[in-house]
Each structure stands twice: as structure tokens, then as C-alpha cells.
Amino acid sequence: MDRFSKRIVEVDKISNDAALMVVLSGLRTKMQFWWSVHEDGPATYREFLFRAEKYINAEEATSDQENEKSDQRDNIKGKEKDSKLEKKESPKKAPDFQHPGRPRPVQKFYGYHILNTSLENVLMQTKGKDILKKPVSMKASSSDLNKRKYCRYHRFAGHDTKDC
């Protein structure tokens, strides 16, 4: 933004509308700021500069937070590598279904909240809304099943929903 502002000053008698048009045409497309500007475009060049400054500040703040999180993850990974080196090599385990050389995906959440309601209540509230994935069908011999118990989640006799 600083570089663009310096170049605008060098141009003689440029109108605010022309400056706004030039700066909008030079934005990177499909970026979050680009979408924001095109959904609700600024009326003046000054309004654009104000909005751009807000996005820059927000982006810097979030990048600082992401850097702190990545530093924490790196520290954890370093500790894990050290502990793996100390352990003896174990016999080969089953293949990990992950492509070699591809990094593991980062967890989206680090902690989960305990449900404050029963699983049955959650199922009743989400019934018919296709929010939850359908479970894998259960297969068991008919002699092992308790016909008095029925799981609403699995839609299968043999255990209660609360025991699921």
C-alpha cells in the first residue's frame, strides 16, 4: 500500500475516482480482501485506504498468533522426535494409509468440551436434518443380541443408545 500511495502522489491531478479504480484493478483476485471490496465497494479512495489498513492490521495480528501456534507445535514435534530416537525400533506395524513424505494434517481442535446433554437428546434434535454421518452398519450374530435394547444411532438392536 505504501508503494502504491507513493506512486499516486507522483501523478499530477489524479482524481479520487481514478485512483480508486487503479488500486482496485491491481488487487489480487479471489483473496479475502478482494471479496470484501467487491461485495461492498468503497465510495472513495480514502475509504479504501482505511479498509485496507484494517485488513492489514487484522492479518498481521492473526499471523502473529499462527506463528506462536506453529512454534508450540514445533516444540512438541521436537520433543516427540527426541523420545522416538530414545526408543528402540519396534517391529514393523501395519501400514499407515498415509502417503510417504506427505505431512500429517494439523488438528483443527486441541480440546473438546464435554457434552452437557445425553447422546439421545442430540440424536432427537438432529433427527431428519442429515447433520450426523450415518454409522457403519453393525454385524453380529442374532444369538448375541439383546432384543430388548435398541440403539437409535446405529438403528440396530443389541445395545442402548446411552451405552453407545
Instruction: Please give the average per-residue pLDDT across 9-14, as a whole number.
Output: 72
Q: pLDDT tens digit string along 94-126? A: 555 556 677 777 777 667 677 788 777 877 787
pLDDT band at 93 (very low <50, low <70, confident <90, very high): low
Number of domains in the chain: 2
DSSP structure string for 30-48: TSHHHHHHHHS--SSHHHH
Q: Is residue 107 part of a domain?
A: no
User: Taking 80 as the threshold, does the pLDDT of residue 44 lie above it?
Assistant: yes
Residues 80 and 154 in one domain: no
Q: Is residue 11 part of a domain?
A: yes
Q: Is residue 139 part of a domain?
A: yes
Global pTM value: 0.35
Calpha distance 150→138 (Å, rounded): 12
Expressed as residue numbers, the domain containing 15 is 2-86
CB of 149 within 8 A of CB of 157?
yes
Calpha distance 127→116 (Å, rounded): 18
The backbone torsions φ and ψ at residue 119, rounded to the nearest 5 degrees and listed phi first, read: -60, -35
Q: Is residue 97 part of a domain?
A: no
User: Taking 70 as the threshold, does the pLDDT of residue 41 lie above it?
Assistant: yes
